[in-house]
Amino acid sequence: MKETPQEKRIHENMKAGVMCAKGFLGSDTRHFHEIIETDAAHLQTLGYTREEVADRMQALTNAAFEAFMGSITLEEHLIVEYTSFRGKLTCPFAHPGGFRKGSVTLQNTRNNITLCWTPLNIHMIREHGFFEGHGSEHRLDPDILIKALFN
Ligand SMILES: [Zn+2]
């Protein structure tokens, strides 16, 4: 695939140490287009759209954020907790503006899956269909994410 200069810049942005210390690609050597396409196909077989996933993550994030301190239990089996950090995160796809640097931890007590995400993850899933590369700290594998959110 021929890369435009802008795509090249986005790919650079995703590497460790450019926009965030650990980057967005982890040990994944694939182009971000390929990561996105593979995850999109996978998500489709799971029967969810990225909007549904992002909406669900946003609703849980809002609930966790409004709990202020400590964790809150939702729907009897979801424990969410919001941890805030100073600073802002920037979208590697070169969107203007910043995203709050907090992180949400979700524990699903039905299947014992625990995972965590940032507000930027929600944005990248909704707008770009990007779940990050394999081995990336905040990679949200669609399989695991769907189970955690919807089981
Ligand atoms: Zn963006």
* Residue-averaged pLDDT of the chain: 92
Taking the centre of ligand 1 as the mean of its atom positions, its distance from the CA of residue 124, in whole angstroms, is 6
**What are the tokens at 52?**
């549904």
* pLDDT tens figures, 95-120: 888 888 889 999 999 999 999 999 99
Taking the centre of ligand 1 as the mean of its atom positions, its distance from the CA of residue 95, in whole angstroms, is 5
Taking the centre of ligand 1 as the mean of its atom positions, its distance from the CA of residue 112, in whole angstroms, is 31
Taking the centre of ligand 1 as the mean of its atom positions, its distance from the CA of residue 122, in whole angstroms, is 10
Other CB atoms closer than 10 Å to residue 19's CB: what's the count?
17
Query: Where residue 41 falls among pLDDT bands split at 50, 70, 90?
Result: very high
State pTM to two decimals: 0.92
**Alpha carbon 100 to its chain's center:** 13
Task: Note the pLDDT of residue 131.
Answer: 97
Taking the centre of ligand 1 as the mean of its atom positions, its distance from the CA of residue 120, in whole angstroms, is 8
* pLDDT tens figures, 44-71: 999 999 999 999 999 999 999 998 778 9
**3-state secondary structure at position 133:** coil
Task: Note the pLDDT of residue 21.
Answer: 66
Task: Note the pLDDT of residue 94.
Answer: 85
**What are the tokens at 98?**
């910043």
The domain limits of the chain are: 5-13+29-150
Taking the centre of ligand 1 as the mean of its atom positions, its distance from the CA of residue 137, in whole angstroms, is 18
Query: Helix %, strand %, coil % for the chain, to 5?
Result: 40, 15, 45
Taking the centre of ligand 1 as the mean of its atom positions, its distance from the CA of residue 69, in whole angstroms, is 29
